[in-house]
Amino acid sequence: MKNILLITLLILTQFLAKAQDNPQPKIGWFITPEVGAMFLDGHVGKTVGASFGVQLFKNHLKVGILSYGRSGPINGATFTTPAFNDMVYKGKNQLTLRADHGAFGLLLAPSFNIKNVSFDIPIMFGTVGGGFYLFGEDRETPDGRRVSEWENELMDGRDAGFGSTLEFGLRGFFPTKIAGMRWGMGLHYTTTQGWETFYDPRGEFYNNKLRASVFVHFGSN
Amino acid sequence: MKQRKNAGLLALLTLLLGFNTLFAQGLLDLSVGTSIQDQVFTNLAYRLQMNPRLRIGAELQLAAPQYRFIDAKPIREGYASTFSLPITWQLHQNEKIDLHFFFRPGVRFQGIIDPDNNDVRDEILSSTAIMLDPGLIVNVKASERLHFQSGVSFPTFFQVRPSAIFENNSTTIHANLAYEVSKRSVLFAKTLIGPAVGASGDSQKFVWSAQMGLRLKFGSSSKGNPLLMEPSY
C-alpha cells in the first residue's frame, strides 16, 4: 500500500511538473481531505480520509487515490462476543471489542456542472482491512505478550481480515470566494467482498452500507 | 568520537549558514505542541528556501511520550527525539492557491530509562525507527498576511532496532494557519488527524497532533513563500 501511495505521488508530481510548464495545462489536480459518517448496523461510525489525483478532459474526469478509515479510538461503539473455544481472558470469556477499518483504492469520478455547482460520481474500488480489537485496560496483557497475539488466540486468528471494496456515490462541490477551493458533501454506497472476521463471519459489518462525507476540495479548477 | 560528532555538527551549521548567506532565504521555526503520542513536544527547524519552488530543511523534535511503542508494546513515559529533513517542491501555482509536493525522511530514537521502575538506572529500553513521510500540501492565500494550508500525507515508521517491525502508517489530513506578524516573523498553528495502522494492530490506530509556534525569517525575502508551513507529525 505504501509503495502504491508513493508511486502515485511521484507520477502525480511528474504530471504536474509538465502541467506547470504548459501555460494551458490539459491535466489538473485535486486534493480533497474529508470527514465522514458510516451508517452501520446500530451505530454511526466516524471516518477521516482524503482523495487526491489528477483531473482530465477539462476537469470532467478525476483519477486518483481515495483512502479513509473508521478508526477505533474515535468510535466508542463496542461489540461483545464469546471468546473462541470458551477461552478466558482476564477472568472473562466474553470479549468486549472495538472495531477499526481502513479502505484504500483507485478513484474514478466522472464530473459535471449544473450552474456554478459541480458534481461527480465517485467510484472507488480497492482493498479494505478491518477488525475487532481489545481496548482500554484489556490491551495490557496478563503475560506481557503483544496484544495481537492474545487477539489471535481469543478470536481463532480471525480478529481482523482483508477483502475488496467497491464504493460509488454522488458528491456536490460548492464554490467559495477563493478560486480553486470548494466545499462539498457526498453520499456513498459501500460494499465489501471477501472480508470476514470471528465477530462477523458473514462479513456484513461494512457491506451494503451508506456513507456520508463532508469535505474541502482544492484543485486547479 | 564525541569530538568528531561536534566537528560534523559545526560543519553542517557552517554549511547551512553559508548557503543562507549566499543563496537562500532562511526560516527558523520553533513550536510547542501535544499529540496522541506525546504529552508535550517541541520542534526546532531550520529551512532554506533555495529558489521560489524548492525548500529544504532540517528539523529536530524532542518529546515527552504518553503513548508510543517499542517492539509494538506501549510506552507511557520516557523520551523521544526525531531528526528529519523536510523537503517541499512547488508543483503548481495560481493566484490564490499553490500545490507542493512534500517529503520528510527521518530517524527517530525513543526509549525509557529504568523501564522496570526500580529507581536504579540499570536498564534502558530503547528503539530506533526510520521515518518516511510523503505528501501533498495546498497553500491558500486568504490575504497577503494570512495563509492556511491543507493536504494529505502518509507518515510511515519502520522500527529497525531492537527488532525490525513495520510500526505504523497513517493517512493524515492537515489544517495549518500562518499569520505574518512582521516582515521577519510569522505566527503559526498546525494540526493533523488521521487513521493509522501497523504492527498487526498493536501500534497507533489513530493519530492527532496540535502545535503552535513562531517562524523567524533571515536573508533575502524575495524567494518563496515564508507563510507555507510544512506538516509535522
Distances (CA, A) of A126 to A163, B51, B125, B199: 9, 39, 39, 22
Upper half-sphere CA count for residue B34 (Cβ side, 13 Å): 3
Tell me the pLDDT band of A26, cut-offs 50, 70 and 90: confident
Query: Going residue by residue through chain B (233 aa), what tens digit of pLDDT does each one get?
Result: 556 656 666 666 666 556 555 567 899 999 999 999 999 999 999 999 999 999 999 999 999 999 999 999 999 999 999 999 999 999 998 889 999 999 999 999 999 987 777 777 667 899 999 999 999 999 999 999 999 999 999 999 999 999 999 999 999 999 999 999 999 999 999 999 999 999 999 999 999 999 999 999 998 766 789 999 999 87
Q: How far apart are CA B25 and CA B104, in angstroms?
A: 20
Rounded Cα gap, residues A147 and A154, in angstroms: 10
Summarize pLDDT for A81-93 with one digit per residue, the tens: 999 999 999 999 8
| Partner A, chain B 178-197, Cβ-Cβ below 8 Å | 193-197
A151 has a pLDDT exceeding 60:
yes
| pLDDT score at A7 | 64
Strand partners, A30: A53, A219
Per-residue pLDDT, B1 = 52
Instruction: Tell me phi and psi for residue B230, to 5 degrees.
Output: -80, 145
Structure confidence at residue A13 (pLDDT): 61
Q: State the cell numbers at A210.
A: 451508506
Distance from C-alpha of B168 to C-alpha of A79, rounded to nearest angstrom: 25
> What is the residue whose three cell numbers read 530509562?
B113
A22-31, A113-122, A124-133: least confidently modelled range: A22-31
Q: Is the pTM of this model over 0.95?
A: no
List of E strands, chain B: 25-35, 38-49, 54-65, 68-70, 73-75, 79-84, 87-93, 97-113, 124-141, 146-153, 156-161, 165-170, 172-182, 185-197, 206-219
Interface contact B171-A1, CB threshold 8 A: no
| Own/partner long-range contacts of B162-165 (Cβ < 8 Å, ≥24 apart) | B162/B70, B162/B71, B162/B126, B162/B127, B163/B71, B165/B71, B165/B72, B165/B198, B165/B199
3-state secondary structure at position B189? strand
The cell for A26 is: 490539459
How confident is the model at residue B11, as a pLDDT?
67
B101 contacts in chain A (CB < 8 Å): 9, 13
3-state secondary structure of B82: strand
Rounded CA separation B88/B133 (Å) = 12
Question: Looking at CA atoms only, how far is residue A96 from chain B in angstroms?
Answer: 16
Look at residue B10 in the predicted model and tell me its pLDDT.
Answer: 63
* A215 contacts A176 by C-beta, under 8 angstroms: no
pLDDT for the residue numbered B47 = 95
Any B CB within 8 A of A147 CB: yes
Which residues have C-beta within 8 Å of that of residue B82, sequence separation ≥ 6?
Answer: B59, B60, B61, B63, B106, B107, B108, B109, B131
Query: Torsion angle of alpha carbons A185, A189, A195, A199, nearest 10°?
Result: 80
ipTM of the modeled complex: 0.87
Are B134 and A49 in contact (CB < 8 Å)? no
Task: Please tell me whether residue A41 adopts helix, strand or coil conformation.
Answer: coil
Q: Nearest CB to B195: which of A71, A218, A220?
A: A71
Closest CA to A118 of A44, A171, A186: A171
- The number of CA neighbours under 13 Å toward the Cβ of A212 is 7
Instruction: List, for residues A153-197, the tens digit of each pLDDT value.
Output: 999 999 999 999 999 999 999 999 999 999 999 999 999 999 999
For residues A117 and A112, give the distance between their C-alpha atoms in angstroms, rounded to a whole number: 9
B116: cell is 522496570
How close A105 comes to chain B (CA, Å)? 13
Q: Number of CB pairs < 8 Å for A and B?
A: 126
Chain A partners within 8 Å of B201 (Cβ)? 100, 131, 133, 147-148, 151, 159-160
* Whether B231 contacts chain A with CB within 8 A: no
Test mutation, B138, B191, B209, chain A, max A CBs within 10 A: B138
B178: amino acid identity, one letter: A
| pLDDT given for residue B219 in this prediction | 82
> Per the CB < 8 Å rule, is B201 touching A159?
yes
Beta-carbon separation of B169 and A17 below 8 A? no
pLDDT at A24: 52
Can the peptide bond before residue B162 be classed as cis, meaning omega within 30 degrees of 0? yes
Contacting A residues, span 16-75, partner chain B, CB-CB under 8 Å: 16-17, 19-20, 29, 31, 33-34, 47-50, 52, 67-74
Give the nearest partner residue to B206 out of A13, A71, A216, using CB atoms: A71
- For residues B194 and B17, the answer to whether their CB atoms sit within 8 Å is no
Residue A221 has pLDDT above 80, yes or no: no
Q: Give the pLDDT score at B31.
A: 98
With a CB cutoff of 8 Å and minimum separation 6, the contacts of A219 are A28, A29, A30, A31, A55, A59, A180, A182
Query: B193 pairs with which residues across the strands?
Result: B173, B208
Mean pLDDT score of chain A, rounded to an integer? Answer: 92
- Quick one: CA dihedral A165, A169, A173, A174, positive or negative? negative
**pLDDT surpasses 80 at A6:** no
Beta bridge partners of A150: none
**Which residue is listed with cell 497507533?**
B204
Q: Does A5 touch chain B (CB under 8 A)?
A: yes
Which residue among A131, A148, A218 sits closest to B150, beta carbon to beta carbon?
Answer: A218
Q: What is the pLDDT of residue A8?
A: 63
CA distance A76 to A46: 10
Query: Which amino acid, one-letter code, is at A121?
Result: I
Q: Which of B155, B153, B182 is nearest to B166 (CA)?
A: B155
Record: contact B138-A139, CB cut-off 8 A: no
The C-alpha angle with vertex B44 and arms to B38 and B45, in degrees rounded to 5, equals 125
Residue A9 pLDDT greater than 70, yes or no: no
